C-alpha cells in the first residue's frame, strides 16, 4: 500500500465466460468471447492483446459491467459481480476516447466520482490535488478539457479513474489516439503509476510492443478464445502457435525433421544440416516440426549453421535488414549495430546461425 | 446458442434501477394512452357498431359522393403540391449549395426558410385571398380583374406549395452538402458539361432524397387542415370533410371511419418514406464532403438561377408582409387610407383578444417544457439504453409523425368524450385545458424526438459510460452529463414545441370548448366569415409572439448554451 491508496487491490477471476453476439449481416449468432477462464492476481498488470474482433474489448466491458456474459461468472475480489450494474462495481475505466466530460474543467472531471460518493469537500480537494500531482497536471485544475493536449487529456482520464481508488483499473486501448512518441512516453507513465499505487490493472490493446513493455502478464486472444497467456518474455520466445509467434513481432519459421532429443535440446535437420533448438513440445525422432526464430536472434557471417543466399540487404539505421533464402524458405534477419560488421550484398552467399535458446520448436 | 444468461442479467440490471423502470413504464403508458389508444378506438368504432362487427359504416361513407370526391381531391392536391414543392425546394437548395450568391440573396433564403416556421399554418391563405381574391390588391387594383376566384384547387395548391417548399429546400440542402464534390469534379474532368454533371451524377445521387422530400410534403399536404378550410371554398379535402362531418353533420361514427381512411393513406406514405427512401438516402450519401465545393461563378448560370430564386423568395416574403399591412388598412379592398390601428385595438376591445392570447399562450407555455422533456427522455431511451420495449417506444413516437391532426382530434373525441372505451373512466379529461395541453404535446413530440435522437447520437457513448462507471446512477448520468451536453437541442426543442403549439389548429379545433379561446381558432373563424382585417391583426400579433420567442431562444443559446468547441469534443471521433 502507498500514500495514495488506502484500499487493497482486488483480483479478477473470469470463470468460463462466454458472450454471444448476432452478426448484423447474416443474422447468425457467434461467440465474441468463447469459454474464457483466467485469473488476474491482485496488483498485477494484465494485458488483453489481440487483433481487432478477438473479443478483448468485450471481455473488458464485461468486467466493467457494460455487457453481460451469456455464460460463466465474473468475480472481483472473490465476490461474484454478474448481477451488479456498472455503477455498483468497484472498477474504473479509462476509455479509448478519454470520455472526459466536456462541460466540466479538469478538477471537476477528476472530482466527479468522489462527489458521487458524497466525500467531504476538503477531502475531495486533497485527493484530487494529490492525484493530479501524480499524473503531473498540477496547475491545470481550472482548464477546460478542450484546452488540453491529447496527452494531457489522457492524464486527466487516468486521474479520474485512479482517484476513486477502484479495486481494479480498466484500460480500453487508452493510447491509440496519441502519436507514436507520446504513446511510448505515456505507457511508461502508466506503468510507473500502476507500480506506485500497486493497483490491479487490466489493459486492452492491439499493439504488441505496448503489451510487451507494460504488462506482468499477457493474454493473447484470437476469435474469442485465449491463444496463449504468459509473461511477455514467455510469449515472445516461446510462442505456442504460429499465430502467436507471428502476432508478437516478426518471426521466421524453419521446417525440418527431428533427428534426436537430448534432455531439453532437440536436434533438427533443416535442409540437410543439423541445428539445435530448445525443447518446445513433445517430439520424437522422425517427427516433422517447425523452428521459430526471431529476426534479431539470427546472425549472418561467412561461416555458420545454415548456408543461405542474400536476396535483400538494406541499411535501416540501428540494424541491417536482410532477406535471405535458406533452401526454399525466406528468412528475415535484423543484424544489430552493423557498423563494424561485414555487410553482405544482394546475391552473395553466406551462413546464418542462432543460439539454441532463441530457437523454439513448434 | 443460449443467450439467456446475458439477456437475463441485462434485465436484472435494469430492474435494479427503479428510476429507469419508472420512466420506461410512464413513457409506455403515455404513448399508449394518448397516441395508440385514440387511433385504435377510431378503428374499433368504425368497425364495431350496434349490430356487431361490420363494414357498415365504411359502406355508408363510401356511398357519399362528397367523401369519394374528397379522397380524389386530397390525393390530387397532395401529388401536385409534392412535385411542385420538391422542384422549387431543389432549385433553392441547388442555388444555395452550388452557386456563389450575393449576401443579400443569402439573407432572402434564410428568411424564406424561417417564415413558415414562425407563422401559423394558414397565413398564406389569408394573404392569397387579400392579394388575388375578388377584391385582391393585385388582381383588382393592379390589373383591374373583377371577381377573380382564388378559392378551390389552384388556391390550395399555390398556398400549400409556398408553405411547404422551404421544408424540401432545407432537406435537400443537407443532402447536397453531403455529396462529395470530387465525384462531380471527376465527371467534369472527363468532359461532362455542367448540365450533364447535374443529370448524370448529382441527380441520380439525390433521387432517393427527392422521393423523400416529395413524400414528406405529400403527407403534410394531405394532413393540412387550415389552408383548405380557408381557401378551399367548395373544394373539400379529407381533413375538411372530416371536420364538417363532425361539426356540420354531427356524424361522429362516419367521421371516425373517414379518419381511418385518411390515417391509412398517410401511414402508407409514411411507411414508404421511412423504411424505404430514408434508408436509401442514407446509403447513397454517407459521410461528409471531403473538401469545400468550387462554387459556380459563371454568370450565365448564376444570374438566371439567382434571379429566379430571388423572385420566388420575394414573392413569398411579400405574401407574409401582406398580413401585418392588411391589418393596418381601414377596410381591405375598399378604403386604404389613412392607415389605422383600429383593428389591433378591436382585437382587444371587441373580440376578446386578450383572453385568446392568454389562453393560447398559457396552454402552449405549459405544453412546451413537457414536450421538450418527454422528447429528450424518449430519445435518450432510444439512443442510449437497451431494453425490450425500446422498439415500441421508438415506433410509436415516430408513428405520431404520420398522424394528421384532424385524425388525432377525432380520435380524442371518440376516445375521451365518454371516457376510456366509452366507460366513463377519465371522462373528466374531455373539454378541459389539460386535454388541449396533451394534444399540443403529442403533436410536437415527434419533431422533438427526432431532433433529440440526432443530438444524442452525436455524443460519444463512452462519455456516459464513464459517468456510469464512476458510480453514477441513471438519473445522475442523465442530469449531470447528458442534459448539459444537449442543452442547445433541449432549448430549441422547447421553443419549437411552443411555436408549434401556439400555431396549431387541426386537432385542437375539434377539441376546444367555449371556455377556452385559442388564437388560431379565432383567426380561422374570422377568415371564414370574411373578416380579413381582424384576422390579419390577430395573425400579426401571433407572428410577433412566435418570432420573438425564437429570437429569445437564439440569444439565450448564444450566451448560455453549450459552446461549439465543447460540442465537438463530445462528438464521436
Answer with the one of B306, B326, B346 that is the final residue of a domain.
Answer: B326
Is residue B295 in some structural domain?
A: yes
Q: With 70 as the cut, is the pLDDT of residue B193 above it?
A: yes
Higher pLDDT, B153 or B299: B153
Residues B57 and B62: their CA atoms lie apart, in Å, by 9
Answer with the one of B326, B355, B371 that is the final residue of a domain.
Answer: B326
CB contact under 8 A, B484 and A103: yes
Name the helix (H) or strand (E) containing A227.
strand A225-230
Question: What is the per-residue pLDDT for B285?
Answer: 53
User: What's the whole-number mean pLDDT along residues B333-338?
Assistant: 70
Of the candidates B493, B279, B269, the one whose C-alpha atom is nearest the C-alpha of residue B403 is: B269
Q: In terms of domains, do A217 and A263 share one?
A: no
Residues B88 and B93: their CA atoms lie apart, in Å, by 9
Report residue B568's pLDDT band, with 50, 70 and 90 as the boundaries: low
Which range (A149-163, A182-196, B60-74, B185-199) has the least confidence? B185-199
Q: In terms of domains, do A174 and A235 share one?
A: yes
Report the number of distinct structural domains present in chain A: 2
Is residue A164 in some structural domain?
A: yes
Is residue A6 in some structural domain?
A: no
Is residue B29 in some structural domain?
A: no
Block residue for cell numbers 442555388 = B95
B278's grid cell: 430514408
Question: What is the per-residue pLDDT for B2?
Answer: 57
Is residue A4 in some structural domain?
A: no
Is residue B339 in some structural domain?
A: yes
Is residue B55 in some structural domain?
A: no
Q: With 90 as the cut, is the pLDDT of residue B18 above it?
A: no
Strongest mean pLDDT among A178-182, B156-160, B283-287, B380-384: B156-160
What's the pTM? 0.79
Which range (B157-166, B212-221, B418-427) has the least confidence? B418-427
Q: With 80 as the cut, is the pLDDT of residue B559 above it?
A: no
Inform me whether the C-beta atom of residue B3 falls under 8 Å from chain A C-beta atoms: yes
Is residue B217 in some structural domain?
A: yes
Q: With 60 as the cut, is the pLDDT of residue B563 above it?
A: no
The verdict on whether omega for the bond into residue B338 sits within 30 degrees of 0, i.e. cis, is yes
Does ipTM top 0.85? no
Q: In terms of domains, do A260 and A145 share one?
A: no
Q: In terms of domains, do A76 and A171 share one?
A: yes
Q: In terms of domains, do B463 and B536 share one?
A: yes
Q: In terms of domains, do A57 and A119 share one?
A: yes
C-alpha distances (whole Å) from B407 to each of A138, B298, B336, B363 are 63, 50, 41, 21
| pLDDT digit string, tens, across residues A156-206 | 999 999 898 898 999 999 888 888 888 888 899 899 989 988 899 999 999
Of the candidates A243, A338, A343, the one whose C-alpha atom is nearest the C-alpha of residue A296 is: A338
B565: chain A residues, CB-CB within 8 Å: 146
Is residue A218 in some structural domain?
A: yes
Q: With 80 as the cut, is the pLDDT of residue B99 above it?
A: yes
| pLDDT digit string, tens, across residues B366-411 | 999 999 999 989 988 888 877 888 888 988 888 888 899 999 999 9
Residue A308 near residue A295 (C-beta atoms within 8 A): no
Q: In terms of domains, do B305 and B345 share one?
A: no
Which sign, positive or negative, has the C-alpha torsion B214, B220, B225, B226?
A: negative
Q: In terms of domains, do B287 and B426 share one?
A: no
Which range (A304-318, B217-231, B338-352, B554-568) has the least confidence? B554-568
Q: In terms of domains, do B91 and B206 share one?
A: yes
* Cα of B484 to nearest chain A Cα, Å: 7
Answer with the one of A215, A244, A273 that is the final residue of a domain.
Answer: A244
Report the number of distinct structural domains present in chain B: 2
Looking at every residue in chain B, the average pLDDT score rounds to: 84
B400's grid cell: 405520431
Question: What is the per-residue pLDDT for B573?
Answer: 38
| pLDDT digit string, tens, across residues B502-520 | 988 888 888 888 888 888 8
Question: What is the per-residue pLDDT for B247?
Answer: 87
Question: What is the per-residue pLDDT for A13?
Answer: 94
Q: In terms of domains, do A261 and A191 share one?
A: no
Q: In terms of domains, do B321 and B334 share one?
A: no
Residue A199 near residue A122 (C-beta atoms within 8 A): no
Answer with the one of A244, A260, A286 that is the final residue of a domain.
Answer: A244
Answer with the one of A244, A270, A304 that is the final residue of a domain.
Answer: A244
Could you write out the three-class secondary structure of B260-313?
HHHHHHHHHHHHHHHHHHHHHHHHHCCCCCCCCCCCECCHHHHHHHHHHHHHHH
Q: In terms of domains, do B429 and B498 share one?
A: yes
Domain of residue A17: give its range: 12-244
Q: In terms of domains, do A264 and A138 share one?
A: no
Question: What is the per-residue pLDDT for A1?
Answer: 41
Residue A352 near residue A291 (C-beta atoms within 8 A): no
B207's grid cell: 433521387
Is residue B28 in some structural domain?
A: no
Residues 117-136 of A with CB under 8 A from B: 117
CB contact under 8 A, A113 and B471: yes
Which sign, positive or negative, has the C-alpha torsion B148, B152, B158, B159?
A: positive
Q: Which of A71, A87, A97 sits opposite B462 (nearest CB)?
A: A97
B458: chain A residues, CB-CB within 8 Å: none
Strongest mean pLDDT among B24-28, B100-104, B195-199: B24-28
* Cα of A65 to nearest chain B Cα, Å: 8
Inform me whether the C-beta atom of residue A171 falls under 8 Å from chain B C-beta atoms: no
Is residue A1 in some structural domain?
A: no
Q: In terms of domains, do A32 and A136 share one?
A: yes
Q: In chain A, which residue ranges form alpha helices assigned H by DSSP?
A: 56-64, 106-116, 121-134, 150-163, 180-197, 208-214, 232-237, 242-247
Residue B168 near residue B217 (C-beta atoms within 8 A): yes
Of the candidates B360, B120, B67, B81, the one whose C-alpha atom is nearest the C-alpha of residue B226 is: B120
Q: In terms of domains, do A177 and A300 share one?
A: no
CB contact under 8 A, A112 and B1: no
Question: A265-270 and A273-278: which strand pairing?
Answer: antiparallel
Answer with the one of B326, B358, B379 that is the final residue of a domain.
Answer: B326
Question: What is the per-residue pLDDT for A318?
Answer: 86
Query: B99 in helix, strand or coil?
Result: strand
A vs B, Cβ pairs < 8 A, gives 115
Give the residue ranges of chain A where pLDDT is below 50: 1-2
Helix axes B405-416, B238-247, angle to 10 degrees: 30
DSSP string for B180-232: -HHHHHHHHHTT--HHHHIIIIIHHHHHHHHHHHHHHHHHHHHH--HHHHHH-
Point out which residues pair with A260 in neighbouring strands: A267
Domain of residue B405: give its range: 328-573
Question: What is the per-residue pLDDT for B364?
Answer: 92
Q: In terms of domains, do B218 and B355 share one?
A: no
Question: What is the per-residue pLDDT for B572?
Answer: 43
* CATH classification at residue B119: 1.10.3720.10
* CATH classification at residue A169: 3.40.50.300
Q: In terms of domains, do A342 and A291 share one?
A: yes
Per-position b or e across A214-250, b if 16+ CB within 10 A of its CB: bbbbbbbbbbbebbbbbebeebbbbbbeebbbebbee
Helix axes B252-272, B37-47, angle to 10 degrees: 120
* CATH classification at residue A348: 2.40.50.140
Is residue A7 in some structural domain?
A: no
Inform me whether the C-beta atom of residue B466 falls under 8 Å from chain A C-beta atoms: yes
Q: In terms of domains, do B312 and B355 share one?
A: no
Inform me whether the C-beta atom of residue A143 falls under 8 Å from chain B C-beta atoms: no
Q: In terms of domains, do B294 and B375 share one?
A: no
Q: In terms of domains, do B353 and B279 share one?
A: no
Residue A125 near residue A110 (C-beta atoms within 8 A): no
Q: In terms of domains, do B187 and B232 share one?
A: yes
Which range (A16-25, B491-500, B562-571) has the least confidence? B562-571
CB contact under 8 A, A71 and B566: no
Is residue B258 in some structural domain?
A: no
Q: In terms of domains, do B439 and B494 share one?
A: yes
Q: Which of A88, A146, A177 sits opposite B566 (nearest CB)?
A: A146
Inform me whether the C-beta atom of residue B479 falls under 8 Å from chain A C-beta atoms: no
Is residue A158 in some structural domain?
A: yes
Residues A104 and B466: their CA atoms lie apart, in Å, by 14
Q: In terms of domains, do A105 and A149 share one?
A: yes
B471: chain A residues, CB-CB within 8 Å: 87-88, 113, 116-117, 164
Q: In terms of domains, do A178 and A149 share one?
A: yes
Amino acid at each position: 500500500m502507498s500514500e495514495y491508496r488506502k484500499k487493497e487491490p482486488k483480483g479478477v477471476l473470469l470463470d468460463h465466460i462466454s458472450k454471444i453476439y448476432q452478426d448484423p449481416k447474416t443474422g447468425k449468432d457467434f461467440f465474441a468471447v468463447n469459454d474464457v477462464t483466467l485469473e488476474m492476481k491482485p496488483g498485477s498488470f494484465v494485458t488483453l492483446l489481440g487483433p481487432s474482433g478477438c473479443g478483448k474489448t468485450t471481455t473488458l466491458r464485461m468486467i466493467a459491467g457494460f455487457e453481460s456474459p451469456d455464460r460463466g461468472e465474473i468475480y472481483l475480489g472473490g465476490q461474484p459481480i454478474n448481477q451488479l450494474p456498472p455503477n455498483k462495481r468497484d472498477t474504473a475505466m479509462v476509455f479509448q476516447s478519454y470520455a472526459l466530460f466536456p462541460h466540466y474543467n479538469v478538477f471537476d472531471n477528476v472530482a466527479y466520482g468522489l462527489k458521487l460518493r458524497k466525500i467531504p469537500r476538503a477531502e475531495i480537494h486533497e485527493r484530487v490535488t494529490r492525484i493530479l500531482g501524480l499524473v503531473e497536471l498540477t496547475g491545470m485544475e481550472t482548464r477546460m478539457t478542450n484546452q488540453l493536449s491529447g496527452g494531457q487529456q489522457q492524464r486527466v482520464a487516468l486521474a479520474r479513474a485512479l482517484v476513486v481508488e477502484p479495486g481494479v483499473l480498466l484500460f480500453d486501448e487508452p493510447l491509440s489516439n496519441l502519436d507514436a512518441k507520446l504513446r511510448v512516453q505515456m505507457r511508461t507513465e502508466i506503468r510507473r503509476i500502476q507500480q506506485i499505487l500497486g493497483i490491479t490493472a487490466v489493459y486492452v490493446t492491439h499493439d504488441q510492443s505496448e503489451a510487451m513493455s507494460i504488462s506482468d502478464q499477457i493474454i493473447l486472444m484470437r476469435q474469442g478464445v485465449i491463444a496463449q497467456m504468459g509473461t511477455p518474455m514467455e510469449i515472445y520466445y516461446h510462442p505456442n502457435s504460429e499465430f502467436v509467434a507471428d502476432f508478437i513481432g516478426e518471426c521466421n519459421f524453419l521446417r525440418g525433421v527431428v533427428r534426436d532429443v537430448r534432455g531439453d535440446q532437440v536436434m533438427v535437420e533443416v535442409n540437410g544440416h543439423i541445428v539445435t533448438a530448445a525443447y518446445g513440445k513433445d517430439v520424437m525422432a522422425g517427427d516433422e516440426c517447425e523452428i521459430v526464430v526471431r529476426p534479431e536472434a539470427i546472425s549472418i557471417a561467412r561461416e555458420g549453421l545454415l548456408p543461405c543466399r542474400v536476396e535483400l540487404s538494406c541499411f535501416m539505421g540501428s540494424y541491417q535488414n536482410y532477406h535471405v533464402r535458406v533452401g526454399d524458405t525466406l528468412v528475415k534477419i535484423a543484424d544489430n549495430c552493423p557498423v563494424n560488421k561485414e555487410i553482405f550484398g544482394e546475391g552473395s552467399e553466406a551462413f546464418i546461425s542462432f543460439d539454441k535458446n532463441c530457437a523454439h520448436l513448434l | 446458442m443460449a443467450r439467456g444468461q446475458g439477456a437475463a442479467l441485462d434485465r436484472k440490471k435494469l430492474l435494479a434501477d427503479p428510476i429507469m423502470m419508472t420512466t420506461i413504464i410512464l413513457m409506455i403508458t403515455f404513448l399508449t394512452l394518448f397516441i395508440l389508444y385514440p387511433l385504435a378506438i377510431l378503428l374499433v368504432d368504425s368497425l364495431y357498431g350496434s349490430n356487431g362487427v361490420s363494414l357498415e359504416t365504411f359502406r355508408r361513407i363510401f356511398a357519399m359522393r362528397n367523401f369519394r370526391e374528397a379522397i380524389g381531391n386530397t390525393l390530387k392536391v397532395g401529388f401536385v403540391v409534392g412535385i411542385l414543392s420538391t422542384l422549387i425546394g431543389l432549385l433553392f437548395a441547388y442555388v444555395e449549395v452550388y452557386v456563389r450568391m450575393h449576401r443579400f440573396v443569402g439573407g432572402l433564403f434564410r428568411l424564406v426558410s424561417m417564415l413558415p416556421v414562425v407563422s401559423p399554418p394558414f397565413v398564406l391563405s389569408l394573404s392569397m385571398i387579400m392579394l388575388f381574391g375578388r377584391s385582391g390588391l393585385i388582381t383588382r387594383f393592379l390589373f383591374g380583374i373583377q371577381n377573380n376566384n382564388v378559392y378551390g384547387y389552384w388556391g390550395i395548391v399555390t398556398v400549400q406549395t409556398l408553405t411547404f417548399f422551404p421544408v424540401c429546400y432545407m432537406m435537400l440542402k443537407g443532402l447536397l452538402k453531403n455529396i462529395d464534390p470530387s465525384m462531380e469534379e471527376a465527371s467534369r474532368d472527363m468532359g461532362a458539361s455542367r448540365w450533364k454533371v447535374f443529370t448524370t451524377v448529382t441527380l441520380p445521387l439525390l433521387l432517393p432524397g427527392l422521393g423523400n422530400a416529395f413524400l414528406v410534403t405529400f403527407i403534410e399536404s394531405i394532413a393540412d387542415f387550415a389552408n383548405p378550410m380557408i381557401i378551399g371554398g367548395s373544394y373539400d379535402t379529407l381533413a375538411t370533410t372530416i371536420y364538417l362531418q363532425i361539426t356540420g353533420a354531427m356524424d361522429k361514427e362516419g367521421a371516425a371511419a373517414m379518419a381511418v381512411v385518411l390515417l391509412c393513406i398517410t401511414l402508407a406514405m409514411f411507411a414508404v418514406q421511412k423504411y424505404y427512401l430514408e434508408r436509401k438516402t442514407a446509403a447513397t450519401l454517407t459521410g461528409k464532403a471531403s473538401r469545400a465545393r468550387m462554387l459556380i461563378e459563371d454568370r450565365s448560370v448564376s444570374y438566371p438561377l439567382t434571379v429566379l430564386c430571388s423572385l420566388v423568395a420575394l414573392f413569398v416574403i411579400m405574401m407574409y408582409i401582406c398580413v401585418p399591412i392588411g391589418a393596418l388598412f381601414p377596410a381591405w379592398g375598399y378604403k386604404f387610407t389613412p392607415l389605422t390601428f383600429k383593428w389591433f385595438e378591436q382585437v382587444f376591445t371587441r373580440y376578446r383578444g386578450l383572453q385568446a392570447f392568454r389562453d393560447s399562450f398559457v396552454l402552449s407555455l405549459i405544453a412546451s417544457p413537457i414536450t421538450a422533456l418527454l422528447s429528450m427522455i424518449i430519445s435518450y431511451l432510444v439512443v442510449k439504453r437497451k431494453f425490450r420495449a425500446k422498439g415500441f417506444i421508438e415506433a410509436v413516437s415516430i408513428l405520431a409523425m404520420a398522424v394528421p391532426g384532424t385524425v388525432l382530434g377525432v380520435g380524442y373525441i371518440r376516445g375521451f368524450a365518454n371516457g376510456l372505451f366509452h366507460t366513463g373512466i377519465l371522462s373528466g379529461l374531455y373539454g378541459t385545458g389539460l386535454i388541449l395541453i396533451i394534444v399540443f404535446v403529442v403533436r410536437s413530440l415527434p419533431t422533438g424526438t427526432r431532433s433529440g435522437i440526432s443530438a444524442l447520437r452525436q455524443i460519444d457513448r463512452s462519455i456516459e459510460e464513464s459517468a456510469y462507471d464512476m458510480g453514477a446512477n441513471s438519473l445522475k448520468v442523465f442530469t449531470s452529463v447528458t442534459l448539459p451536453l444537449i442543452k442547445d437541442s433541449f432549448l430549441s426543442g422547447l421553443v419549437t414545441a411552443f411555436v408549434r403549439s401556439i400555431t396549431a389548429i387541426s386537432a385542437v379545433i375539434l377539441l376546444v370548448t367555449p371556455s377556452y379561446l385559442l388564437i388560431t381558432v379565432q383567426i380561422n373563424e374570422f377568415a371564414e366569415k370574411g373578416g380579413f382585417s381582424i384576422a390579419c391583426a390577430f395573425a400579426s400579433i401571433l407572428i410577433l409572439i412566435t418570432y420573438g420567442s425564437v429570437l429569445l431562444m437564439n440569444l439565450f443559446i448564444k450566451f448560455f448554451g453549450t459552446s461549439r468547441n465543447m460540442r465537438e469534443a463530445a462528438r464521436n471521433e
